[in-house]
Amino acid sequence: MYDVLIAGAGPAGAIAATVLARAGARVLVLDRARFPRAKLCGDTLNPGALAVLDRLGLDGATGGAVPLTGMIVTGDGVRVEGRYDGVCGQSIGRREFDASLVMAAAGAGARVEQGVLVQAPLVDWSDRAPRVTGLIFKGRDGRPLRVTATIVIAADGRYSRVARALGLSRAAARPRRWAIGAYFENVGAMTSFGEMHVRMSHYMGVAPLPGQVTNACVVTANPGGRSPEDLLLTTLGGDAVLRDRFAGARMISKPICLGPLGVDCDVAGAPGLLLAGDAAGFVDPMTGDGLRFALRGAELAAHEALDALEHGPASAHIRLLAARRREFAAKWRFNRTMRWLVGYPGAVRAAGYGAAVMPQLLRHAIRYAGDVHAA
């Protein structure tokens, strides 16, 4: 029997496994993918996310990354450059970053099984309150296998099989948006800044990556039935700010489409189960702080799991919810405001006017979105 089972070996699962294994817990991590693997993301870590890695001694996971000195935001004729002032973010492909974190978890003593599909939680229904006691996963021979543990952490993504099987998470009613992203070479006028270009019906993220590669992603509420490649190229090529910069660019990866994006989750788990990463809720990637939520949230889940191993798992999910609210409540409100704003053309227009008159307000928002305060 393991002390802790973790569904998902992405950043949240790997961080939780590392913290737990370092503390002496017997940890098994299961993931359907084999690392390194492709993952649609903006590929940026803000200063707050880097602070978590640094505190955990995992800053080596971003070796070779491109430093980011801030963000450029454009919209409705406005362009504002916001610097992080004294700290930096970094840009690195998720393929390399995630694989490094998996290696760190294994190096800390966690057992990591790749190519294994977690199908559902194992639940003990004998008590008045059902308790998660393990995981059911698909063995290599195709048959379902069961493994038990004192505590389970679901870090298996925004459509978590574990969380959804228990009714803990659900697709957000609104906003419903899709993301389409790919990598490019020869994009013009790239700098040490990440970029967010907000338009009336969509927004676009652009980031420099190692090797003179550029990550470009479009997030829209209306894919319109077009192929991911057509939607991405048409949107970038038709934008007044980006058109010339992408005119000579070459797409070097197959576009990935993901959506609808939003996932709502009002809890942090159930008896015997803790949620981490996107399994604990997912919002639009507009503010670029998703990885900081994942890394810090996984750290909080690991600490509660260690406490559960010592004192029992019955109320660990309640304590984790309180810890997540203390840590993230203000940022969640900020992100909800941003999600609402980009959903309404009038709000986008008003925000553009405000940024033109008082650009310092947008610069402050860029620093806040970048979790500079946490760094």
Mean pLDDT of 331-349: 72
Confidence of residue 91 (pLDDT cuts 50, 70, 90): very high
Query: How far is residue 336 from each of residues 105, 120, 184, 339, measured CA to CA in Å?
Result: 33, 30, 31, 5
86 CB-side CA count, 13 A? 6
Mean pLDDT of 182-200: 95
Q: Amino acid identity, residue 110?
A: A
pLDDT band at 353 (very low <50, low <70, confident <90, very high): low
The reported pLDDT for the residue numbered 13 is: 98
Range of 245's domain? Answer: 178-259
Query: Looking at residues 282-304, what average pLDDT do you find?
Result: 89
Band (pLDDT 50/70/90 cuts) for residue 174 is: confident
- H/E stretch holding 152 reads strand 144-154
Q: Residue 320 — pLDDT band, cuts 50, 70, 90?
A: very high
Number of domains composing the chain: 2
Residue 116 and residue 196 in one domain: no
If one counts every other C-beta atom within 10 angstroms of the C-beta of residue 189, the result is 7
Assigned domain for 107 exists? yes
Q: What is the pLDDT of residue 346?
A: 64
- Separation of alpha carbons 96 and 101, rounded Å: 9
Mean pLDDT of all residues in 308-329: 95
User: Of 187-191, 211-215, 260-264, 301-305, which range is least confident?
Assistant: 260-264
Asked if pLDDT for residue 178 goes beyond 80, the answer is yes
Bridging pattern class, strands 213-220 and 178-185: antiparallel
Torsion angle of the four alpha carbons 16, 166, 139, 3, in this order, in degrees rounded to the nearest 10: 40
**Residue 60 φ/ψ region, left for φ over 0, alpha for ψ in the -120 to 50 degree band, beta for the rest:** alpha
Q: Are residues 201 and 231 in the same domain?
A: yes
Residue 163: inside a domain? yes
Q: Convert the pLDDT of each residue in 46-86 to its tens digit.
A: 999 999 999 999 999 999 999 999 999 998 788 889 999 88
Q: Which of 219, 244, 259 is the last residue of a domain?
A: 259
